[in-house]
Amino acid sequence: MTGYKQGLAFRYLQGTKYHRDRPISDDLGSIPAPERFKNYPDAERLQLPEPDLSRPADLWQCLARRRSERDTTPEPLSLGELAKLMWAAQGVTARAGIHLLRTAPSAGALYPFETYLYVDKVEEVPQGIYHFDVADFALERLQSGNFNQGFTAASLGQPAVQKAAVVIIWTAMMLRCMVKYRDRAMRYIAMDLGHVCQNVQLAASAMGLGSCPIGAFFDDDFNELLGVDGEEETVVYLITVGKLR
């Protein structure tokens, strides 16, 4: 077998294919169904304002302007701008039974990820690490303080992280997807977060902000910063947002 075909990425893609001539089977056994939402009931909460969606934005212009912008300014975002970004990422737009349907699609409406933020420069929001409560459209403060150095170092020293007003971080909730899609779950988690991240970039473009998706980082450094186990919940993607020069 050619060397690259022995690699993990190639073997995963081949190993999770569906075939017409064979049943879907694996040896994973029973997978426990986790909670559909994660909450931090003891955390201090900051209710985000209802986003002002009255100002129209031209979709085609937003698509044309969308770029990965790394050189942002020290100027803070407003609380309203942060609310719009979070609504674009995971705003609830409808309910279907137990499911909260959102601005981005998700395989099986499972939304197998959680959203965290490192807020460095946002008006009315103290510096710190937060978890986003989707159902209540609120931030749960996990840690207070300046973590800029830690997040930048965990991101391989990328200047975009050091300069950002806010860093949005997504963790994969593996069992939430595996309970239905088994070994194929990581395909869908990656797809879901691609949809979500593009929403954030288009919202940033609509507001004249700069954003930059990031996939290169020290995984367990980020997991430690957020206080997640790195196995059933692990960081997989992030995006920086800030004011453009």
Give the CATH architecture of domain 45-243: 3-Layer(aba) Sandwich (3.40)
pLDDT of residue 1: 57
% of the chain exceeding 90 in pLDDT: 91
Split the chain (245 residues) into runs of 10 and give each run's mean pLDDT: 84 92 89 92 97 94 96 97 98 93 96 98 98 98 98 98 98 96 95 98 98 98 98 97 95
The DSSP code sequence of 183-194 is GGHHHHHHHHHH
Q: Following CA atoms 59, 172, 106, 156 in sequence, which dihedral angle do they give, to the nearest 10 degrees?
A: 20
Task: Give the domain ranges of the chain.
Answer: 45-243
**Model pLDDT, residue 193:** 98
What pLDDT does residue 47 have?
98
pLDDT for the residue 245:
86
- Give the angle subtended at the CA of 141 by the CAs of 139 and 147, to the nearest 5°: 115
Q: Quick one: which of 49, 167, 169, 170 has its CA closest to 119?
A: 167
d(CA 170, CA 182): 20
- In degrees, to the nearest 5, what angle opens at C-alpha 34 toward C-alphas 33 and 40? 170
The predicted model scores a pTM of: 0.95
